[in-house]
Amino acid sequence: MRGGRVVLSIALLIAALFVNMNAELVDSWADRPVAVQQDQDYELMTIQSTEEWLVLQVEFPDNPYSTSKATGLLEGDGSAEQYIEQMT
């Protein structure tokens, strides 16, 4: 394990020396313009009136699952259901 660290350290030092000695080359490489990605028109799928979402209940040994808390998150005031209705 120690030998691997030594080899990695030496490789990093050699790379740092290369960058230091060839600053113009590295700068010209870093200053090259990045290709601009063209925006393409994609057809978006909208939320349908009858969506069905899978919701998994996860229970941990020291923290039992609260059904009332899950119901509050998924239904009622300030819930995911209300949010989705507002977004559509």
pLDDT band at 32 (very low <50, low <70, confident <90, very high): confident
Q: How far apart are CA 30 and CA 58, in angstroms?
A: 47
For residue 13, how far is the Cα from the chain centroid?
32
Share of the chain above pLDDT 70, in %: 97
For the residues 50-79, what does the mean pLDDT come to?
80
**Does residue 22 carry a pLDDT above 80?**
yes
Query: Is 2 contained in some domain?
Result: yes
Query: Is 22 contained in some domain?
Result: yes
For the residues 35-42, what does the mean pLDDT come to?
72
Query: Is 46 contained in some domain?
Result: no
**Does residue 60 carry a pLDDT above 80?**
yes
Tell me how many domains the chain contains. Answer: 2
Indicate the residue type of 38.
Answer: Q
Same domain, 26 and 57: no
- The pTM of the full predicted model, rounded to 2 decimals, is 0.34
Same domain, 55 and 28: no
